[in-house]
């Protein structure tokens, strides 16, 4: 399995997916067609075969369509039976209660443990 790298733009996040068990999203996600953008990410997740997966989500902003895809991506990870341990690090900007609450909702709904980190500013 190969590493998947998607360069970020002012509308889409930088995505790094390492077959050793690491996924990173950084920037902002306001892509017009989130289904198309996330399609290779879902394919990659369905193919990965690791015991432990760490996910860093460091998004300065995401629109509703992207939030739905992030939720679906985390669900897809949970449904990959080769992955026994999932660790999600959710980064949000200082004072951004909406982002924090979204992460808490995902944690509660998916029953995946999240660690939350408040940052002064998330680089875009």
Q: What is the pLDDT of residue 81?
A: 94
Has residue 87 been placed in a domain?
yes
Number of domains within the chain: 1
Higher pLDDT, 95 or 56: 56
Q: What is the pLDDT of residue 87?
A: 97
Whole-prediction pTM value? 0.93
Mean pLDDT across 59-68: 95
Has residue 94 been placed in a domain?
yes
**CATH code: domain of residue 37:** 3.30.750
Give Cα separations from 78 to 51, 55, 74, 93 (angstroms).
12, 12, 6, 26
Q: Is 88 exposed, middle or buried (0-12, 13-18, 19+ CB in 10 A)?
A: buried
Has residue 53 been placed in a domain?
yes
Has residue 97 been placed in a domain?
yes
Give 108-123 pLDDT, tens digit per residue.
999 999 999 999 876 6
Q: What is the pLDDT of residue 93?
A: 92
Has residue 46 been placed in a domain?
yes
Q: What is the pLDDT of residue 123?
A: 62
| 115 in Cβ contact with 87 (< 8 Å) | yes
Has residue 17 been placed in a domain?
yes
Has residue 102 been placed in a domain?
yes
Q: What is the pLDDT of residue 124?
A: 61
Q: What is the mean pLDDT of the chain?
A: 95
- Provide the residue range defining the domain that includes 29: 4-119
Q: What is the pLDDT of residue 122?
A: 64
Give 76-115 pLDDT, tens digit per residue.
999 999 999 999 999 999 999 999 999 999 999 999 999 9
Has residue 124 been placed in a domain?
no
């Amino acid at each position: 399995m190969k590493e998947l790298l998607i360069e970020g733009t002012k509308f889409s996040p930088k995505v790094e997916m390492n077959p050793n068990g690491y996924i990173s999203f950084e920037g902002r996600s306001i892509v017009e067609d989130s289904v198309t953008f996330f399609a290779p990410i879902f394919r990659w997740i369905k193919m990965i075969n690791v015991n432990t997966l760490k996910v860093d989500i460091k998004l300065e902003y995401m629109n509703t369509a992207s939030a739905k895809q992030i939720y679906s991506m985390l669900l897809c990870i949970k449904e990959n039976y080769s992955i026994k341990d999932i660790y999600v690090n959710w980064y949000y900007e200082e004072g951004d209660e909406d982002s924090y609450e979204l992460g808490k909702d995902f944690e509660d709904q998916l029953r995946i443990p999240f660690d939350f980190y408040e940052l002064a500013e998330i680089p875009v």
